[in-house]
Chain A
């Protein structure tokens, strides 16, 4: 279900916790699985549950509680815009509108070519760099004015 490389990463995460507390690695394991599979299907979650010795429902609970997990397919590029107050005071609403217009989608929609999914996020803890966005969960994008958004879209559309 997961590649050897992915399982090695999960195994490395497991070394951080006591041997009888494998469940502590579930966030790490699901992140690794999501990265390899694109999204967390029931089969993937069941596999992680089996691998960590957890009841499948305990894994579903975690996957649906933490907002950066995708239990349904998302576009190749997931863009998540923070619109919380500190970002909103510095233009994040305009940034989001610009993205909607450029991509031709509303929030939580994916472009027909499957390239982009647009999401709204809550505070990423980088308000000094407002407006901020996350690209595919792991890349923080700072000071996202409309012209920088255009640059980003050009880069990601290559």
Chain B
């Protein structure tokens, strides 16, 4: 129960890791990062007096896409920052990692924090920005403290401050923490929170590049996105792109959770078959078979196991299979899982976390949860499945932010792929899954009567 632990095994994150290469869980300090080639990219940019445009072009060429969920091209996002803006601009790192199933940013920040710092300094250089904030999930307090220590190290070594490595380039970085609100992972809610308010998402447009933190131009990227930038700059965009697939450059850290032998983070080349990723996580837990996978965090559509076994892990392949790569959180469910119960828990989450600003989401998430709950507890009605889909459709696309869609998509996909389980619950008032020890109501016991 202490935070002290032995070093991780060599190649703990997989043989193709770039961001986590050589990371053993203990070597997080500046000297270790430098020994792994860290801050080489920043030194190169400064020594070669690389122009901001050239740096953005390099990131564009790498086909690096946002690792937080949306998959937006990073170089393109950076190019939206107004170059000649007369006031302060901001770089913000979104480390408010709370999407169920996602736990990669925690590992990057605690085991390789300087990769994020270097990536943020490079983003500042590329966009002519001199101040950055890293907004860190409040639930990982020790990681927040470590990041503050890493900032101090970088500042003392001249990688941060008003005159970086004596070049005249300036970039100051601060860590900021949340305190328990999923919605603050949404970029404009995060900005509101950083301004000291409730995390209520803002209308877009205007986008953060024109109206962001304190109303000033702001670029927000995910932790893993920033952490990938130093490698790209140091080793070349071509090499990064070649590691993945066209339009899907480089590697991605997948957080594999649920019914596998070795839950954890695995960094693989984009385009790696799902079957290979599953094998890295030790496969489905002993004696069970794969039933379903949510490939990109709880907000993305679920896919049946067979469909996943034919799919490769990159943005375009997963989209073709009918879901989204999202944050790279792979939630694996075996045949002992009741899909009604699983959806009930996810629907409760979105009901609990809706900020309440938009009526379709505030009211709709409650409807969704209460209806799935009544099906799960043996009070479902035959018409419920159609009503559920109807409510989900009336949330989709009708809210300020993506939380509404995030609540609706699981409902629609769970019912689309596993309709017979829901129908069985409604008709027989019992669970179709009869494997003890799984995530399902006790086999053979009428719904609503189990402890």
Contact = CB atoms under 8 A, between A and B. Distances in A.
Contacts of A43: none
Interface string B160-195: 000000000000001111111110000000000111
Contacts of B199: 65-66
A104 B264 CA distance: 34
B101 interface: yes
Interface residues of A, number: 52
B196 A89 contact: no
Interface stretch (A2-10, A109-117, A135-143): A135-143
A22 B214 CA distance: 12
B197 interface: yes
A88 B439 contact: yes
A84 interface: yes
A28 B101 CA distance: 27
Given A89-B259, A134-B139, A152-B1, A125 B193 contact: no
Given A27-B193, A148-B1, A68 B179 contact: yes
Contacts of B345: 83-85, 88
Contacts of A65: 181, 198-199
A11 to B, nearest CB: 14
Interface string A1-32: 00000000000000011100111111110110
Nearest to A133: B1
Given A123-B99, A127-B263, A130-B257, A27 B178 contact: yes
A137 B252 CA distance: 30
A28 B255 contact: no
A39 interface: no
Interface of A: 16-18, 21-28, 30-31, 52, 54, 58, 61-62, 65-69, 83-86, 88-90, 93, 121-130, 134, 137-142, 148, 151-152, 155
Interface of B: 1, 88, 97-103, 105-106, 133, 137-142, 174-182, 193-199, 214, 255-259, 263-265, 298, 329, 331, 333, 337, 342, 345-346, 349, 352-353, 439
The 3 closest A-B pairs by CB, nearest first: A23-B196, A67-B180, A68-B180
